[in-house]
Chain A
Amino acid sequence: MTAPPDDCLARNEWICGDYLSSRREILLDAVVQHVQLTSVSVLVGLLVALPLAVLGRRWGWAAGPVLAVTTILYTIPSLAMFSLLLPLYGLSATLVVAGLTLYSLTLLVRNILAGLRAVPEDTRQAARGMGYGPVRLLLTVELPLALPAAMAGLRIAAVSAVSLVTVGAIVGFGGLGNLIYAGMNTYFKAQVLTASVLCVVIAVAADLLLLGVQRLLTPWTRAARG
């Protein structure tokens, strides 16, 4: 029984347990890179979007230009976005993060602004009547009430970012996309399928995580539903 190895790796099967066990480290590294790239870019996007949306709410004239610019940024294809930023950041992880941040900006600014605008004027006036200043009004009344809309945008941004990270493979920082890219060139079926499935798993996990956070942060929506 000294035939050449006849396992699923040698037969190049789609589903292969040996692949999982022998490449565990590589897969883990790719997943970690994927999650890091996604979370950093969405967090930076959130940090930039929040003040932009608040500004747009305070001064109505600012909302139009902010929305227009972010929408144009969203129209630029991901592959083109990474390459347009190439002269600025070179072949680096920062390049991918910067590109993804610009994408999440559109979704986040739009949703946070919509959430802030949906706060009823009565509520605002009641808070003012209770002696709330503008900052306290924003932090303790307007932002919490805008949370559901903002979280909806955040969930979409996170899920989209998870899938867009794969395109970062073109500059070598694509997390699981690197494995898909390499597997395409070598016709390595198990690697392509495993990495693709893991991408979807990360996206679903991120979505569920944010949904959980939303439920924790907005207990009043559950109470109202009874």
Chain B
Amino acid sequence: MTTLTEAWDWLSDPANWSGTDGVWQRLLQHLVLTVVCLAVSCLIALPVALVLGHLGRGGALAVNISNVGRAVPTFAVLVLLLLTPVGRWGEGPTVVALVLFAVPPLLTNAYVGMREVDPSTVRAARGMGMTGRQVLFRVELPLSFPMVLNGVRIAAVQLVATATIAALAGGGGLGRIITAGFNLASTPQVVAGAVLVAAFALVVEAVFECAERMAPAWARGTR
């Protein structure tokens, strides 16, 4: 138990929170990294998934990309990118590795959500004279929204978790507190950093949960 009290001492020491290596700075880096990567991944994955789902093609592609993505260690991708010319470009390797990691769950969830829309609903909309674009935006997208949002939520939480790995390769974020603790052989700092990261991940999960509960009924679905 002494480790836990020492970790608490570390966390309650204001000196550890300020400065360029402080918790606030690392928290901000972590947040920016997560938000940027999530935005980029959504911009890449969602249009592709929605169009594929609308056309009803490329399902095997969407699912297989997801499976392959799981098999490739993010840490390995990060280090590989670090050793290429991309490595000289600041946080570039981290962003690329994290985006590659977040795209598969987004793609699969959005695609599956689109395919699960009742075909008779789609036929009814077509019968009412809707064009393909109208069907996509007014029928399929609203109906699959809960599933798409669930994919975004999974991706967001995984990004928060995985962004810590950037610290292993010298990147910023909360993971730095953990790796610095390992280098200093300071178990209290390591545990304090871990608690911070875990808490951050749970906060993101809670934010999505709240957003889902407060969303209008059509966006909530019947999960």
Using a CB–CB distance below 8 Å, which chain A residues touch chain B?
Answer: 72, 75-81, 83-84, 86-87, 156, 159-160, 162-167, 169-171, 177, 180-181, 183-184, 187, 189, 192-193, 195-196, 199-200, 203-204, 207
Contacts and interface: CB of A to CB of B under 8 A. Distances in A.
A199 B202 contact: no
Interface residues of B, number: 40
Contact of B75 (A75, A180, A193, A204): A180
Given A78-B161, A80-B178, A83-B178, A196 B80 contact: yes
30 contacts: A75-B157, A78-B162, A79-B164, A79-B178, A79-B179, A80-B161, A80-B193, A80-B197, A81-B194, A83-B191, A83-B193, A83-B194, A84-B191, A86-B190, A87-B191, A162-B73, A163-B70, A163-B71, A165-B73, A166-B73, A167-B75, A167-B168, A170-B178, A170-B182, A183-B79, A184-B79, A184-B169, A187-B83, A189-B83, A203-B72
A160 B71 CA distance: 6
Contacts of B70: 156, 159-160, 163, 203
B201 A192 contact: no
A75 B3 contact: no
B178 A162 contact: no
A156 B184 CA distance: 35
B48 interface: no
Secondary structure at the A interface, as helix, strand, loop or mixed, is: helix
B71 A204 contact: yes
A86 B178 CA distance: 11
B75 A84 contact: no
B165 A207 contact: no
B51 interface: no
Nearest to B169: A184
Interface in B70-120: 70-77, 79-80, 82-83
B5 to A, nearest CB: 11
